Homo-oligomer: A and B are copies of this chain.
Amino acid sequence: MKAEIIAVGSELLLGEIANTNAQYLSEWLATCGIDVYYHTVVGDNRERMTDVIRRAQGRVDLLVITGGLGPTEDDLTKEVVAELLERSLQIDQPAYDRIEAFLKTRGRTMTNNEKKQALIIEGADVLTNNAGLAPGMSVHTSDHQYILLPGVPREMKRIIADHFDHLLGKETIKSRTLRFFGIGESALNDRLADLIRTARNPSVAPYAELAEVRLRLTAKALDEQTALEMLDRLERQIRDEVGTYFYGYGETSLPEVVLDDCRKAGLTLSAAESLTGGAFASGLTDIKGASDVFRGSAVVYSDVAKINVLGVAQTLLDQQTAVSREVAIAMAEGARALYQTDLAIALTGEAGPTSNSGQTVGTVYCALAQASGTEVLELTYPAFDRGMIRLRSVKDAYFMLIKNINHSDKRIQK
């Protein structure tokens, strides 16, 4: 099965936004074993849209079309596809009722344009939109399948998520994402080489993200229970091999896991940041509810600050420099006392581009202080990218916390 992803919208052609929908949909289709051969972007223009869709009909089996389902005059996707298929447009009553109910909460009645959003192509399966007003739809003809989705990424993703199981056929498709930190994509691929090469159903696909790797496992079966059992088995095989790098599922992030694990263990947390300059704290406080675990961070970007705020001794800084194991320990213990927390992380290092401390650029010390004592991780990163050194350091600190709180590897939760 070959697919083309068509995005409709002049804002894309003007460079106002990037076509991130195409990336998302490509990954989804790859997951389901469908080859994407083309992406196309076309403006809100009836003639050019017709031409683009006609060409796609000639070269692929599945057309996924995003955008142009809204209420404005420019929104032409449904009309163009209906005309090409010689089908009519009909009101979908549930969609109509949802629009009416929404407008009622605003004290308004429906205009003709707003009504347009409830129209679906004759014979289409409606894809309920739980994040907006315009539903998506799937249309089958003898030769092709057409999936029409809204252009707003949040709505498009929600529809895919809600209809993932059966959108592409009668089989149930279930997918699960495992997240790993501290192992590169190629090292993970080496460790799992046989599995990745031979796994067809369930399949395994690795995706590298910033200093992380996620594995997407996808199973097809006739019923949900079987698909989930297939995923469980494969997950167990993978975690037996590389479980030590595993930290969570799906869209979970490292700081979310840190906060959850601290919360479950009844532990409070603080930090002292030199190198990372507030990025460790910022990552945690981005997450709502962080304040029941996280008390704060002393960002100390100068020796004076390390001395005044954290009580690091001037003699220690003179003897060891700010980038040293000893200063990392003093910072972590200083933060733990100052913020009165169970755990405290300290990060100090040399991010470059040139070294102020005399230490090699890329050298980082991450200390973790707790009642039982303070331990230090010495990390060495390639020196070429200041931002990357800072980002990796923050993530290494989160991972050090997760490992410390859990001691043994986490169990399969499902």
Footprint of B on A, CB under 8 Å? 7, 12-20, 22-30, 35-43, 48, 52, 55, 207, 270-271, 273, 276-282, 284-286, 288, 290-291, 294-302, 304-305, 308-309, 338-340, 352-353, 356, 386-387, 390
Q: What B residues does A19 contact at CB under 8 A?
A: 18-19, 22-23, 39
Highest count of chain B CB atoms <10 Å: which of A35, A305, A340 = A305
The answer to whether residues A285 and B301 also contact, given A18-B20, A20-B18, A278-B278 and a CB cut-off of 8 A, is: yes
Q: What is the total number of copies of this protein in its complex?
A: 2
Closest CB in chain B relative to A295 CB, distance in Å: 5
CB closest residue in chain B, given A205? B14
Sort A-B residue pairs by CB-CB distance and give the 7 closest, nearest first.
A277-B285, A278-B281, A15-B27, A15-B26, A278-B278, A39-B41, A278-B282
Q: What B residues does A52 contact at CB under 8 A?
A: 38
Highest count of chain B CB atoms <10 Å: which of A14, A48, A290, A353 = A14
Closest CB in chain B relative to A123 CB, distance in Å: 30
Among the listed B29, B37, B301, which residue makes an inter-chain contact with A294, where contact means beta carbons less than 8 Å apart?
A: B301
Closest CB in chain B relative to A256 CB, distance in Å: 14
Q: A121 to B347: give the CA distance in the assembly, Å.
A: 52
Report whether over half of chain A's contact residues are helix, strand or loop; otherwise say mixed.
mixed
The answer to whether residues A39 and B36 also contact, given A301-B294, A308-B338 and a CB cut-off of 8 A, is: no
The answer to whether residues A340 and B39 also contact, given A15-B25, A278-B280, A288-B353 and a CB cut-off of 8 A, is: no
Q: A278 to B37: give the CA distance in the assembly, Å.
A: 44
Q: What B residues does A284 contact at CB under 8 A?
A: 277
CB closest residue in chain B, given A293? B301
Contact indicator A296/B296 (Cβ below 8 Å): no
Contact indicator B48/A37 (Cβ below 8 Å): yes
Q: What B residues does A291 contact at CB under 8 A?
A: 301-302, 356
Q: What B residues does A282 contact at CB under 8 A?
A: 276-279, 281-282
Closest CB in chain B relative to A47 CB, distance in Å: 11
Closest CB in chain B relative to A337 CB, distance in Å: 9
Q: A295 to B288: give the CA distance in the assembly, Å.
A: 28
